Amino acid sequence: MNRRKFIGLGVMAVAAMPATLSALSSIDFRATKPDAWKAKTVEDAIKALYGDIKPEESGVTVKAPKVASNGGAVPVTVKSDIAAKTVAVLQNMDPESAVAVFNVPEGGIIDYFLKMKLKATDANGGNGVITVIVEGTDGKFYKGTVALQVAKGGCEG
């Protein structure tokens, strides 16, 4: 076999491998759990994703600014040392509560950064809450939350 053909076949095999591995370990939550994406409350979204669970309030760190001046791009950091299958990010400020669900590969590190679009919180000083649910490989569920306010005029105009 000539060298170019050998290298070309090797590159194709390596390029196909990640797609095969991720397809084996990932779940398309939009297709398999469509009710979660229509849920109006965090509790309903959690129930649609995972059933009737009681997550432990430990092991998950969620950080966001106390007051977000731009609701169009609220920075959120999620960290956990838990060996996990999935990580779900939810919020109570927009009409639909589910934001994202991440499949965690075996041995994956949960150290995520994302920007969320959120509506302004009410004028009476009410806080919004971002909730993160981690589904552990041990079959348990873990929860972290952070309260914040989104200034008026953020993503609403």
Per-residue pLDDT of the chain (157 residues; tens, 9 = 90+): 555 454 544 444 444 444 444 444 578 888 999 999 999 999 999 999 999 999 999 999 999 999 998 888 999 999 999 999 999 999 999 899 999 999 999 999 999 999 999 987 765 556 899 999 999 999 999 999 999 998 875 444 4
Residue tagged 């050998």 (tokens) = 6
Q: Cβ of 3: how many Cβ atoms within 10 Å?
A: 7
99: Cα within 13 Å, side-chain hemisphere: 21
Tell me the CA distances in angstroms from 21 to 18, 26, 98, one per residue in order: 5, 9, 26
Domains (ranges, CATH) in the chain? 29-150 (2.60.40.2470)
Backbone φ and ψ for 69, nearest 5 degrees, come out as: -80, -20
Beta bridge mates, 77: 63, 113
